[in-house]
Structure 1
Amino acid sequence: MEFLHSVMDFTGLHLTESFKAMICTLKGVAGVYAIIHISTGRAYVGSSANIGLRLMSHLVYGSCNPHLQNALALYGLSTFMVRLVAEFIIDPALSDEENAAKLLALEQYWLDLLFSLPAAFRYNFLPHAGSSLGYVHKEETKIQISKTLKGSTRSLETRAKISAGQSGANNHKATAVALTDLNGFIVREFLTQIDAAKYLKISKASVSLAIKRGSIVEDL
């Protein structure tokens, strides 16, 4: 993935000391990162206000993008590298929402480059960074779900947003769903609405209806 600018690369992820050094280096660093399969160049691009913690989510806890998780399970950590693509300096004079929007705009730049390539070169299946922050597209509908979140993965947010868009290289009717926090950062991605419904412990009908209406669903 030569087109992905490199501020810093990390390899040997299967080695404890190398992995710890990477997490330590990137803990508290905001910006855009990529997880790259070394031999094929296939990449996942994301952004976070704390890349170190986000990488723990990807590489240790197995959350977020299922395409990436399947590849990690199949090939192993030793075949992947992590790249800091662009560092983002949080501006204390701006609000959290404004900083988040700027970070997402930075991620969008790199996602646009990634999605200009054939699907075989990416693990991402949602082409838009944090659609809740100003990225409005015909193929996407944003909904809000207001609920008391009890799951360990979701306990930090009492409200979450879901964006849905058409995806699936092999199935044009597949619907990719992203669960984001209120700042627009993706918490978890799902291949289908059914997967999202199971994770949220609600019915698929509730997810589908909310997406269709663009409505707020309360007390789920």
Structure 2
Amino acid sequence: MIKSIITYSNCELEKNRILKENKNKAVVYRWTNNVNQKTYIGSSVNFSVRLYKYYSVKHLMKHNTAIHNALLKYGHSNFTLDIIEYCEGVDPIIREQYYLDLLRPEYNILEQAGSSLGFKHSEETLEFFKNNRKVSEETRKNLSLAATGRILTEEDKKKISSSRQGIKLSDETRAKISAAAISLKGVPVIIKNIITLEVIEYTSLTEVAKAIGVSRTAVKKAIISEKPIKKIYCCIASHKK
């Protein structure tokens, strides 16, 4: 039998107190179902972050584990939360493993702390991961459209714009992109057909793009990266006036 540092007997009514008293703390904790007395042992380096997930219905529904399902089924009001140990200067995972071996909690499917080895997701969870992966693949495809050397349709542009929402560039990256765009504005461009060796000079990026059937952005990117476009043409910016 172990003695807890703090015990919260009604996790619904004491939610605010639990969050306040355990903010940013590394802990080993135990959930106890007051109905059937089954328990779960866990640990966290920042318990306040973990607690917000435990109190999120959306998060609980996404994770098909015994403790998540139990919290959804019985509600937080039917659970007691014990802070078994505050881990200052100690790895919480190591301490969690100690209590897992000692107490053998019923809701812990895994015998090794911090491991998912041997855990099998439900069909619903696997379907969720599958759908998320499909979205990710589609997003990557949309983001690559501008670099394929093709002329983009309005639909393609909308897809790319949507995919890029939420992507944050560093100030340094923004500065480089801006400088590259400015330096190429209104600059003549020389293209060389690496198969026929034909060399032609055009007055602008737009003129080049129209001539070889690609987007202006693709031409600019080829110049900056110094890589062939459409695997046929080498493009360089001509700064002669």
TM-score normalised over the length of structure 2: 0.48
SS of the residue corresponding to residue 98 of structure 2 reads: helix
Partner of 1:105: 94
Say yes or no: does 1:195 pair with 2:129.
no
SS of the residue corresponding to residue 81 of structure 1 reads: strand
Residue by residue over 1:22-53, the C-alpha shift from the partner in whole angstroms, topping out at 9 and shown as x without a partner, is 11001111020111112322111110011122
SS of the residue corresponding to residue 195 of structure 1 reads: helix
How many angstroms apart in 2 are the aligned matches of 1:199 and 1:49?
A: 26
How many angstroms apart in 1 are the aligned matches of 2:123 and 2:96?
A: 25
Counterparts of 1:22-171 in structure 2, within 5 Å, are: 22-61=18-57, 62-63=59-60, 64=63, 66-90=65-89, 102-115=91-104, 122-131=106-115, 163-165=116-118
| Contact 1:65–1:124 (CA under 8 A) maintained in structure 2 | no
How many angstroms apart in 1 are the aligned matches of 2:125 and 2:2?
A: 31
In structure 2, stretches of 5+ residues that fail to align are 135-241
How many angstroms apart in 1 are the aligned matches of 2:124 and 2:35?
A: 33
How many angstroms apart in 2 are the aligned matches of 1:107 and 1:65?
A: 21
Query: Which amino acid counterpart does residue 70 of structure 2 have in structure 1?
Result: A
Match of 1:13 among 11, 26, 31: 11
Query: Which amino acid counterpart does residue 65 of structure 2 have in structure 1?
Result: P
Larger radius of gyration: 2
| Contact 1:5–1:86 (CA under 8 A) maintained in structure 2 | no
How many angstroms apart in 2 are the aligned matches of 1:4 and 1:193?
A: 37
Note closer, same or farther for the CA distance 1:67–1:47 as it changes in structure 2 (3 Å cut).
Answer: same
How many angstroms apart in 1 are the aligned matches of 2:15 and 2:93?
A: 26
Query: Which amino acid counterpart does residue 6 of structure 1 have in structure 2?
Result: S
| Contact 2:40–2:106 (CA under 8 A) maintained in structure 1 | yes
In structure 1, stretches of 5+ residues that fail to align are 91-98, 116-120, 132-162, 166-175, 178-190, 204-220
SS of the residue corresponding to residue 104 of structure 1 reads: helix
Note closer, same or farther for the CA distance 1:84–1:194 as it changes in structure 2 (3 Å cut).
Answer: same
How many angstroms apart in 2 are the aligned matches of 1:67 and 1:50?
A: 22
Residue by residue over 1:111-151, the C-alpha shift from the partner in whole angstroms, topping out at 9 and shown as x without a partner, is 11232xxxxx51111111124xxxxxxxxxxxxxxxxxxxx
SS of the residue corresponding to residue 110 of structure 2 reads: coil
CA RMSD of aligned residues (A): 2.5
| Contact 2:64–2:125 (CA under 8 A) maintained in structure 1 | no
SS of the residue corresponding to residue 73 of structure 2 reads: helix
Q: Which has the higher contact order (CA 8 A, sep 6+)?
A: 1
Question: Which structure's residues are more often strand, by fraction?
Answer: 1
| Contact 1:10–1:81 (CA under 8 A) maintained in structure 2 | yes
Note closer, same or farther for the CA distance 1:76–1:108 as it changes in structure 2 (3 Å cut).
Answer: same
Counterparts of 1:168-183 in structure 2, within 5 Å, are: 176-177=119-120
Residue by residue over 1:183-204, the C-alpha shift from the partner in whole angstroms, topping out at 9 and shown as x without a partner, is xxxxxxxx3487356326349x
Which 4+ stretches in 1 moved above 4 angstroms? none
